[in-house]
Structures are given as C-alpha cells and as structure tokens.
A and B are shown apart, each in its own frame.
Chain A
C-alpha cells in the first residue's frame, strides 16, 4: 500500500495564479483532510470530507476550495494564490475512530 500520496511535492506560484493539489489514499478511508503547517502555528485544518461527495470547512478555509468526487481522492484548489498561502500542505485520511494517516506534504511558495 502506498498510503497517502500528494502531488506535487513542490510548487512556486505567482500571486493570482491558480493551482490544484491532489491527495490520494489507498486505504479505503472514509474521512480525508487538508491541513496547512506554518512555523509556530502547528497544523490548521483547511477543509475536510467525511465521505465521497461531501466537504466541510475547517479552521482556515478562506481562499481554498475542495472536491471529493471519488472516495480515494481529495483535491485542494487555490483560485487566486496570495503570498499568505505560502505554506506546507498536508493531506490526511482516517476511518473513525482511528488515527489520521498523513501524506508527505506539498511545499508551496507564492511570490
């Protein structure tokens, strides 16, 4: 099993550009999550999904959109990137009430 994978691993965007981050899991987990990690702030939940076709806002959803068209995939979109979105993005998945499994992360820089 590959577990949780994320593409791309690194990306540099200019302000105003858009992009989509892809998360895939092969553990048949119901729940999937997108976090951002910033120095001194831990991990903050952006959006999450409790099943195919469902999404919900987390702690810091502004500027991001998500879609869960297939159970194994969870997409995070930035429609108009801003420097404040420079961060490391982690995807995770879980089946309740278990632990969350994390992907390797995507390092995004917005200039």
Chain B
C-alpha cells in the first residue's frame, strides 16, 4: 500500500519568507499527487494537483509544487508567504489506476507571523 510522509509537522515563518513543505510518497507505480489546504475551522480545499505532463505545477494563491519522480517527492513551495497562508497543509496520493482512494500525509501546520 502507498504511504505519504510529511516530515515537517509545524513550520513557523515570518511574512514574506519563502516556503517549502516536503512530501514524499512510497509507491513505485504511476501516481496522482495533490496538495490540500485546511484553513482554521474550515474543510479541505484543493491547492494543486499533478496527474501528468509538466512536473512543475502551479496552483491557487501563488503556490506551486514540483514532482520529482526519482525522489518520490512532491514538495510545495511559495516564494513569499502571507499571514493568510496560516493553515494546515496536506499532501495526498492516489494510484493512477483504481484511483478511488486518497492516502494523506499527516499534515504540516504552517503559522505565519505578521
């Protein structure tokens, strides 16, 4: 079974700092990859997704992620964070076929200090 690792449990940054959140998955086959965000008290929303093609994926609110197949990684980046980015971020993977189940990482809590 596939698994997803997010090694940063809590990240604290000042506004305007650059962000990179790590995500590694364990599965040797073709996968679909996602980053979801959960703002305080809200439900999960999709930030971006990768199915195929250009490994650099751009999402909403200035976020991007790079799929590096050789490293089994899909790290999330943002060049300059804002206070409103304070949230919990979840990486998730599903198999390219039989893709009915998402496997989530444990999440990274991001706190932005004004």
On A, residues with C-beta under 8 Å from B are 31, 33, 40-45, 48, 50, 58, 90, 92, 94, 96-97, 99-100, 102-105
Determine if A99 and B101 form an interchain contact, defined as CB atoms under 8 angstroms apart: no
Determine if A40 and B106 form an interchain contact, defined as CB atoms under 8 angstroms apart: yes
Shortest CB–CB separation between residue B29 and chain A, in angstroms? 14
B57 at the interface (CB under 8 A from A): no
**B: interface residue count bin:** 20 to 34
7 residue pairs from A and B, CB less than 8 Å apart: A31-B100, A40-B107, A45-B101, A50-B100, A90-B43, A96-B99, A102-B45
Chain B's closest residue to A31 (CB) is B100
Determine if B49 and A99 form an interchain contact, defined as CB atoms under 8 angstroms apart: yes
User: Contact partner of A99 among B9, B46, B103, B104, CB < 8 A?
Assistant: B46
Determine if A96 and B100 form an interchain contact, defined as CB atoms under 8 angstroms apart: yes
Residues from chain B with a CB closer than 8 A to the CB of A45 are 101-103
